[in-house]
Amino acid sequence: MLGDELLSIGKIAGPIMMASMLIQSRTIISMLFLSHLSQEVLAGGSLAMGFGNITGVSIIKGVKGIALALACTTFNLNLGLIVYMVVSETPLKPWHGVTVVSIFQGWQPLLTLAVPSLFSVCLEWWWYEIMLFLCGLLDSPKASVAAMGILIQTAGLLYNFPYSLSSGISTRVSQALGAGQPSCAHRAANIGLVMAFAFGVLAFVVTTALRSWWGKLFSDEPQILDLISTVLPLLGLCEVGNSPQTAACGVLTGTARPKDGVRINLCSFYIVGLPVAILTTFTFKFGFKGLWFGLLAAQISCVCMMVYTLVQTDWKHQAKRADELTTAAAGKDDLETSLLTSDL
């Protein structure tokens, strides 16, 4: 049963991870090109890509060729997806049966789940953006911003695995609950969390082992290399917490409780992590490392709250709730919305 569950999660997470890695490679390659220009360009590009990737706003300072390449890649990706949906016989055709009236139906329950899920992810990644801006207040702002940009891209590269795993766990948990099998949902959640924790430990080992080599791919500036090699083990340690908490977010999504994830991320990153980052960086004079101490504190508090939430989960109750949501989905939207927004 363990092997079957691993295979089921892997079949979902594997393709998502490969697609995410291909998309992530755009910015990694862009950073490699920027590193061959100058420290100022690398810092400016790091700031712009960090801001653009996280908030969805494209502001590439003076590096028009790279900005154009990213735009073309995104356009081609979207065009390819549209062509695939039109040509392929496999996926559902979203336009089948669409009427003018149906376009405006079903939005409320969808947004009830989608908006909290969106903020759950954005709250964490906005925190990285805040760190990027705080680098401008350090003693060597250009080197700090450049190093932070490289480290954020590295974190994004590592994030592909827990993100994909989270999607697989969410799907498996929701399938099991929808089928009235709470024990299977519980098992899928536990297996996914163990997989995520194992990856976090592996990420820590790899980043620590490569700390003297990784930065040289992007820059030959001694100051930037020193910052990266110093912080890379901290980044890996953060991943030990980030990976399982991301997987836990998938469990919350699979049980239609994304609002819990929003509350946890808000508390851990902005009530715990941000004050710790500011204190360690500017009050206790840890400098660049202090920002990552703040992230580490945020990840530790986040994973602890996530695990506590999952331990307290009544899986039989969640299966009953899933049945009610499924029944309501065939009825009126307001009933489904009331079930989604109720405190269960």
Mean pLDDT, the chain, rounded, equals: 85
Q: What pLDDT, on the 0 to 100 scale, is given for residue 58? A: 35
Q: What pLDDT, on the 0 to 100 scale, is given for residue 67? A: 60
Q: Confidence band (pLDDT; 50, 70, 90) for 115?
A: confident
- How many of the other CB atoms lie within 10 Å of CB of 325? 19
Does 66 or 301 have the greater pLDDT score?
301
pLDDT digits (tens, 9 = 90+) for 251-265: 999 998 989 999 999
**Lowest-confidence region among 138-142, 303-307, 321-325:** 321-325
pLDDT digits (tens, 9 = 90+) for 18-48: 988 888 787 777 777 777 677 677 776 666 6
Distance between CA atoms of 234 and 248, rounded to whole angstroms?
22
pTM of the predicted structure, to 2 decimals: 0.84
To the nearest whole percent, how much of the chain has pLDDT over 90? 51
Mean pLDDT of 62-90: 72
pLDDT digits (tens, 9 = 90+) for 132-154: 889 989 988 988 988 998 898 89
At 59, list the tokens.
């502001």
DSSP E strands in 109-152: the ranges are none
Give the residue from 251, 195, 197, 181 showing the smallest Cα distance to 7.
195
DSSP string, 160-181: HHHHHHHHHHHHHHHHHHHTT-
DSSP string, 123-161: HHHHHHHHHHHHGGGSSSHHHHHHHHHHHHHHHHHHHHH
Q: Confidence band (pLDDT; 50, 70, 90) for 60?
A: very low
Q: What pLDDT, on the 0 to 100 scale, is given for residue 59? A: 38
Q: What pLDDT, on the 0 to 100 scale, is given for residue 134? A: 93
- pLDDT of 342 strictly over 70: no
At 285, list the tokens.
């004079």
Q: Confidence band (pLDDT; 50, 70, 90) for 118?
A: confident
Q: Are 200 and 239 in contact (CB under 8 A)?
A: yes
- pLDDT of 204 strictly over 80: yes
For the chain, the structural domain boundaries read 1-57+107-325
pLDDT digits (tens, 9 = 90+) for 239-249: 999 999 999 99
